[in-house]
């Protein structure tokens, strides 16, 4: 410790002498720089509080049950996307629904799994139950001005009813084509 103090004192003296003489001329010599850490003072501030998250008591059985928050939404989302995607080949090529489904069954399964995972992701990321998240996404909670007012129209109730109509449309299209024996459009 005494040796380090002596070196530090000598370094300060050299620095003072150079300040008195002015800047040193440019030289091609070796410059050594040494630094020592000063002892740190103990922190005086209180530690940051740990956030307390609400515990999600919703189990996978609750989420995927018949009356749970996920099955109707996933089926509705799949029906909305499926109904729109079936109309294209139906109108352009006069290809029946069952023929379209038969040729793309593997893609339909993968897409269904993707939509199911994407519908479950908000619960996994936020740590809140899906029932609470869906209850918070109603038009009354999303009121605002400008674009927020327009987005408030697309709440969870509208999504549920649009999904229900798409499911009825898919079922109706399948029944009509089964009875008729050919494409509907």
**Is 160:167 a contact under the CB 8 Å cutoff?**
no
What is the chain's alpha carbon radius of gyration, rounded to the nearest angstrom? 35
The domains of the chain are located at 60-180
Compute the distance between CA of residue 137 and CA of residue 152 in angstroms, rounded to an integer.
9
Give residue for tokens 């449309």: 169
User: Tens place of pLDDT for every residue, the chain, 185 residues?
Assistant: 555 545 555 555 554 555 555 555 555 667 677 777 777 766 666 666 655 656 678 888 888 888 888 999 999 999 999 999 888 888 888 888 888 888 888 999 999 999 999 999 988 888 888 888 887 777 677 777 777 777 777 788 888 999 999 999 999 998 998 898 887 77
CA–CA separation, 12 vs 14, rounded Å? 5
Q: How far is C-alpha 91 from the geometric centre of its chain's CA atoms?
A: 36
């Amino acid at each position: 410790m005494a040796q380090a103090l002596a070196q530090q004192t000598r370094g300060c003296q050299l620095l003072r002498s150079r300040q008195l003489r002015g800047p040193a001329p440019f030289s091609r010599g070796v410059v050594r720089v040494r630094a020592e850490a000063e002892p740190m003072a103990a922190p005086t501030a209180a530690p940051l509080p740990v956030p307390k998250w609400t515990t999600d008591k919703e189990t996978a059985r609750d989420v995927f049950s018949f009356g749970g928050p996920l099955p109707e939404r996933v089926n509705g989302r799949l029906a909305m996307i499926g109904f729109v995607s079936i109309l294209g080949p139906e109108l352009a090529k006069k290809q029946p629904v069952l023929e379209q489904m038969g040729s793309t069954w593997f893609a339909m399964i993968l897409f269904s799994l993707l939509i199911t995972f994407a519908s479950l992701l908000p619960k996994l990321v936020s740590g809140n139950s899906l029932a609470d998240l869906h209850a918070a996404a109603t038009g009354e909670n999303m009121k605002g001005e400008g674009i927020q007012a327009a987005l408030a129209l697309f709440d969870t109730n509208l999504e549920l009813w649009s999904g229900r109509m798409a499911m009825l449309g898919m079922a109706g299209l399948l029944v009509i084509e089964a009875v008729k024996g050919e494409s509907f459009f």
